[in-house]
């Protein structure tokens, strides 16, 4: 019996093909947006969290409180310095730590002056090895890495070589000026997929200090000993810095963050943005549901005599109700399937474009079974719900009055 209702529903929809397609537009546009946003949003979230996870579960970051525009640590109203780094290294549970300066300065290439970010690499061998892995593992595409002892040598982010960022595509062997000092480009880094990192100039710590005239750090990165409780080491660092900087509890002029803190904050922000966008896309689905309701009302009016005949030969109210509910549900589910196909197409198109322009896997579609199943089931339920009122109206028709209609 149920199979007969589905066959009848499909037949009725295909007979009014154009009207059915127009009715489903709102549904499949809404579903397409939801599928695309969810898949891309989850893929981006996985990639970003994965990058931070790759830094290591034992990582802690220390920054001065306050700040301004630009990447973390590029400007601070208060500072952290070499003395803070020494205090942190003496803290129980700390295996290694290094400071990194992050500054903006003028970059001159053959008389063309622009502004760019430059960051430091530590001179100490142990610190240097750790710095090569944070915030991502640095590897060269051409040339070589700068190393302790290098002076007047720099590495450049991939976009500086592949895009016209500074008026000219730079390459290994070129000479440039940063802050009035001349540097030789010895290495081109592989693309990281992070737009900020891919336009950075990397130099040794001594050169960075010469440019700024300061020995302050934008941030200090800490690797804890394996097996140590991260929160306990974080608390120990905070206590040591409060003592050395002579500040009271709750009035710290520095911020200590664990890798898990960063991941949790990212998940919270990305999750909120994702659901906000889905809420906007849901408006289209709601409009589609109204369209299904209108179409079903029209269908009930057109088939009033048919309903009268069904009831005259023994159809119950529940049979008529179920028939129209299935028909409206089919409108929803077909719209959902079309929407899924469009949404997947949008997701993979955006992924391909992002990989071509940004490189890496920062924007990558994440398709799950539950996303597709939920979209189809939700579309059917939404379509059926939209058809409840017209279906109830049809089921309550009296056979005699229905047969007289028209």
User: Is-cis flag, bond preceding 375, omega within 30?
Assistant: no
Give the pLDDT confidence of 167-211 residue by residue, as tens digits. 778 889 999 999 889 999 999 998 877 777 888 999 999 999 888
Q: Are residues 181 and 282 in the same domain?
A: no
Q: Is the pLDDT of residue 68 over 60?
A: no
In this model, does residue 98 exceed pLDDT 90? Answer: yes
CB–CB of 291/26 below 8 Å?
yes
**Residues 297, 353 within the same domain:** yes
Q: Rounded to whole angstroms, how far apart are CA atoms 115 and 178? A: 9
Ranges 141-150, 259-268, 362-371, 389-398, most confident: 141-150
Q: Give the mean pLDDT of 285-298.
A: 85
**What's the whole-number mean pLDDT along residues 41-57?**
67
Phi, psi of 194 (to 5 degrees): -95, 110
Q: Examine the domain organization and report whether 269 and 226 are in the same domain.
A: no
Tell me: pLDDT of 79 over 50.
Answer: yes
Higher pLDDT pick, 271 / 68? 271
Q: What is the pLDDT of residue 85?
A: 92
Q: What b-and-e string marks burial along 294-328, b requiring 16 or more CB atoms within 10 Å of the CB?
A: ebbeebbeebbeebbebbeeebeeeebbbbbbbbb
Range of the domain at 156: 58-258
Q: Residue 160, exposed/middle/buried by CB under 10 A (0-12, 13-18, 19+)?
A: buried
Lowest mean pLDDT among 69-73, 287-291, 320-324: 69-73
Is 22 in the same domain as 79? no
**pLDDT above 90 coverage of the chain, percent:** 21
Digit-coded pLDDT (tens) for 16-35: 778 888 888 888 888 888 88
For residue 182, the model assigns a pLDDT of: 92
Is 50 a residue whose pLDDT tops 70? no
DSSP state of 316: -
Question: What is the CA 76 to chain-centroid distance, rounded?
Answer: 27
Rounded to the nearest 5 degrees, what angle is found at the Cα of 381, between the Cα atoms of 313 and 283?
130
| 234 plus 350 within the same structural domain | no
Q: Are residues 168 and 41 in the same domain?
A: no
* Of 215 and 102, more confident: 102
- Say how many domains are in the chain: 2
Task: Report how far residue 40's alpha carbon sits from residue 368's, in angstroms, rounded to the nearest whole number.
Answer: 11
- Give pTM, 2 decimals: 0.64
74 confidence band (pLDDT: 50, 70, 90): very low
* Lowest-confidence segment of 63-77, 90-104, 197-211, 316-330 by average pLDDT: 63-77
Instruction: Identify which of 328, 386, 333 has the alpha carbon closest to the alpha carbon of residue 12.
Output: 328
User: With 70 as the cut, is the pLDDT of residue 73 above it?
Assistant: no
pLDDT at 54: 56
Q: Token pair of 249, please? A: 């509890």
Nearest Cα neighbor of 131 from 76, 61, 193 is 61
Q: What average pLDDT does the chain have?
A: 83
CA atoms within 13 A on the CB side of 67: 17
287 and 164: one domain? no
C-alpha–C-alpha distance, residues 43 and 368, integer Å: 10
Among 210, 232, 258, residue at a domain's last position: 258
Give the Cα separation of 130 and 135 in Å (integer). Answer: 10
Strand partners, 102: 119
pLDDT at 379 over 50: yes
Instruction: Point out the domain boundary residue: 206, 226, 258.
Output: 258
Q: What's the pLDDT score for residue 359? A: 61
- 115-155 residue pLDDT tens: 888 999 999 998 999 898 887 788 899 999 999 999 999 99
Instruction: List alpha helices for 303-368, DSSP H.
Output: 304-312, 317-357
Residue 139 · residue 189 · CB < 8 Å: yes
Check whether 245 has a pLDDT greater than 80. Answer: yes
- CA-based angle 265:266:272, to the nearest 5? 95
Contact 402, 313 (CB under 8 A): no
What pLDDT, on a 0 to 100 scale, did the predictor assign at position 69? 39
Q: Are residues 348 and 372 in the same domain?
A: yes
Examine the domain organization and report whether 142 and 46 are in the same domain.
no
Same domain for 283 and 350, yes or no, is yes
Question: Lowest-confidence range among 142-151, 233-242, 387-396?
Answer: 387-396
Query: 242 and 387: one domain?
Result: no
Element (H, E) at 55: helix 17-55
- In this model, does residue 360 exceed pLDDT 50? yes
The last residue of one of the domains, among 258, 276, 311, is 258
324 with 249, same domain: the answer is no
CA dihedral for 85, 89, 95, 96, sign (positive or negative): positive
**pLDDT reported for residue 361:** 63
Q: Tell me, what's the pLDDT at 70?
A: 46
Asked whether the predicted pLDDT for residue 219 surpasses 80, the reply is yes
């Amino acid at each position: 019996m149920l199979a007969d209702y589905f066959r009848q529903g499909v037949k009725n929809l295909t007979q009014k093909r154009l009207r059915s397609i127009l009715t489903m537009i709102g549904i499949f546009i809404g579903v397409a947006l939801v599928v695309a946003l969810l898949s891309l949003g989850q893929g981006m979230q996985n990639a970003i969290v994965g990058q931070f996870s790759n830094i290591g579960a034992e990582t802690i970051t220390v920054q001065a409180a306050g700040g301004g525009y630009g990447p973390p640590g590029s400007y601070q109203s208060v500072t952290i310095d070499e003395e803070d780094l020494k205090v942190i290294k003496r803290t129980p549970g700390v295996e290694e730590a290094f400071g990194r300066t992050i500054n903006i300065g003028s970059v001159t290439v053959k008389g063309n002056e622009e502004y760019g970010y430059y960051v430091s690499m530590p001179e100490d061998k142990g610190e240097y090895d750790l710095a090569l892995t944070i915030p991502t593992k640095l590897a060269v595409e051409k040339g070589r890495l700068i190393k302790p002892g290098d002076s007047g040598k720099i590495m450049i982010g991939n976009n500086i070589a592949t895009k016209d960022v500074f008026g000219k595509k730079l390459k290994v062997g070129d000479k440039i000026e940063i802050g009035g000092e001349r540097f030789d480009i010895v290495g081109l880094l592989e693309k990281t997929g992070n737009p900020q990192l891919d336009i950075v100039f990397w130099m040794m710590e001594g050169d960075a200090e010469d440019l700024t005239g300061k020995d302050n750090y934008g941030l200090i990165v800490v690797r804890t000993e394996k097996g140590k409780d991260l929160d306990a080491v974080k608390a120990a660092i905070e206590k040591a810095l409060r003592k050395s900087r002579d500040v009271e509890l709750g009035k710290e002029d520095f911020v200590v963050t664990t890798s898990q803190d960063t991941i949790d904050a990212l998940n919270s922000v990305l999750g909120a943005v994702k659901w906000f966008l889905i809420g906007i896309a849901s408006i289209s689905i709601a409009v589609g549901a109204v369209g299904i309701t209108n179409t079903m009302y029209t269908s009930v009016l057109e088939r009033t005599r048919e309903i009268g005949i069904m009831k005259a030969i023994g159809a119950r109210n529940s049979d008529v109700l179920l028939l129209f509910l299935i028909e409206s549900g089919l409108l929803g589910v077909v719209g959902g399937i079309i929407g899924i196909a469009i949404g997947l197409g949008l997701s993979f198109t955006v992924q391909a474009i992002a990989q071509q322009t940004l490189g890496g896997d920062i924007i990558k579609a994440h398709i799950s079974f539950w996303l597709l199943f939920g979209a189809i089931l939700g579309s059917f339920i939404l379509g059926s719900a939209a058809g409840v009122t017209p279906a109830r109206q049809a089921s309550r028709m009296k056979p005699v009055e229905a047969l007289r209609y028209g």
